[in-house]
Amino acid sequence: MIEAIVLIVVKPGNEEKVYQEIIKDPRVKEAYRVYGEYDIIARVEVPSIEKLDRFHDEVLRKIKDIELTETLIASAYRG
């Protein structure tokens, strides 16, 4: 399983709308509206890089109010 953290910048005033769209997807395990350079942080779990690509194509790129994303792929987890 691949775990990724997606940092999202949204057009001003559309944060809640984008947040509600993102949390509908079952691949999104956690999501937070945050203050600072990014507006939303989402933790995504997928079985492969190809499925992560598909998540970007099917979900993130279809939300017009998203201006920018940065995806961080976790290399290790200690929980």
Under 8 Å between Cβ of 19 and 67: no
Every domain of the chain and the residues it spans: 2-31+40-73
pLDDT tier for residue 76 given thresholds of 50, 70 and 90? confident
pLDDT averaged over the chain?
95
Instruction: Give the CA distances from residue 70 to residues 37, 52, 64, 73, 78, in Å, rounded to whole numbers and listed in that order.
Output: 11, 13, 16, 10, 22
State the number of CA atoms in the 13 A half-sphere of 54 facing the CB.
9
At 32-42, the pLDDT tens digits run: 999 999 999 99
Backbone angles phi, psi at 70, to 5 degrees: -135, 125
In this prediction the pTM is 0.91
Name the architecture of domain 2-31+40-73: 2-Layer Sandwich (3.30)
At 35-74, the pLDDT tens digits run: 999 999 999 999 999 999 999 999 999 999 999 999 999 8
pLDDT tier for residue 31 given thresholds of 50, 70 and 90? very high
